Amino acid sequence: MSTFIFGHTTPDSDSIIGAISLSYLKNQLGEDTTPTRQGEINPETEFILDKFGFSKPELKTSYAGESVYLIDFMESSQSPKDINEATILGIVDHHKLGDLKTDAPLEMWVRPVGCSNTIVKQMFDYYDIEIPKNLAGIMACAILSDTVIFKSPTCTKEDTKACKELAELAEIEDYKALGMEMFIVKSNVLNATKEELVLRDFKDFNMGNSKIGVGQLEVVDLSVFDNMKNELFGAMKKLKEEGKRDSILLLLTDIMQEGSQLLVLSDTPEKIESAFNITLKDNQIWLPRVISRKKQIIPFLEKQF
């Protein structure tokens, strides 16, 4: 019986590509694994997979009775609903230690780096397994995406080193140009509904007794959102109510200006304001230099809730 490997709900490029790369590695090591995904892929991921000739992993949202490896998450809020009925054999991740538990010992490769695929690259090196050219290509793209072309404060020397080595294996001549191409694809927000946009890169967190949802859209020019703020707030309101969330935050990140417009709907806005030492105006504020949800948003929210 095959072991399934998958990333978090509303998967980003790192989650999808990490499932593919980790599954390839595990299979080379003699295991029988299959990459899957918990949700639809986003336009950036589609662009990357197309460019290097990969199909998207099979959609699978239920894992009761299965053995699994998780990549790019370790929070129950980002897991399949029946995760407690699955056997977690291992976790490869670069986030904070979440609330998942296991009954038995497992394998965990967790590092405070910018991208899960950086860790998978290190695993390939550790086991001395060769990375095929096209696989190296998508792994390099995952790192460029997750680290915002090395601009994110989450980006470490290990990420840049891994990305450069992968780009060389993939014979990518100008990886920064490829990164910009990806972010231009990502910046196309006109062909999606507002709810799809809020959910495109969206994560729920259980903090204390509150459920907090935080979405992020990274674009090369923030002006694309100029005429759709009210509609984005409308979609946020709907999701907040339907999901019984205490708060919904949406980060509109300008990767060229290197900062984010923060949109907030919250039952406890004073906690959000305290978390970042800000005063919201019309439920929003510009946060200069903030581009990482994981490093610049979540830890400060955790302290409040």
Q: Which string of b and e fits 121-157 if b means at least 16 CB within 10 Å?
A: bbbbeeeeeebeeebbbbbbbbbbbbbbbbebebbbe
State both tokens at 34. 């299959």
Tell me the closest approach of the beta carbon of residue 43 to a second copy, in angstroms: 27
Which residue number, 126 or 133, has a Cβ lying nearer to a second copy? 126
Which residue number, 86 or 235, has a Cβ lying nearer to a second copy? 86
Report if residue 123 touches a second copy, rule: CB under 8 A. no
Report if residue 290 touches a second copy, rule: CB under 8 A. no
Say how far residue 61 (Cα) sits from the centre of its chain. Answer: 17
Binding range to a second copy, per CB under 8 A, among 25-33, 43-51, 106-114, 241-249: 106-114
207 vs 188: CA distance, rounded Å: 32
Report if residue 232 touches a second copy, rule: CB under 8 A. no
Region 45-84 residues binding a second copy, contact defined as CB under 8 A: 74
205 vs 212: CA distance, rounded Å: 5
Name residues whose C-beta falls within 8 Å of residue 57's C-beta, 6 or more positions apart in sequence: 6, 16, 19, 20, 34, 35, 36, 37
Binding range to a second copy, per CB under 8 A, among 20-28, 48-56, 195-203, 293-301: 293-301
Tell me the closest approach of the beta carbon of residue 299 to a second copy, in angstroms: 5
Tell me the closest approach of the beta carbon of residue 90 to a second copy, in angstroms: 8
Report if residue 87 touches a second copy, rule: CB under 8 A. no
DSSP-assigned letter for residue 37? E
> What are the φ and ψ backbone dihedral angles of 41, each rounded to 5 degrees?
-85, 155
Which positions lie near a second copy, rule CB under 8 A?
74, 88, 91, 94-113, 126, 154, 294-295, 298-299, 302-303
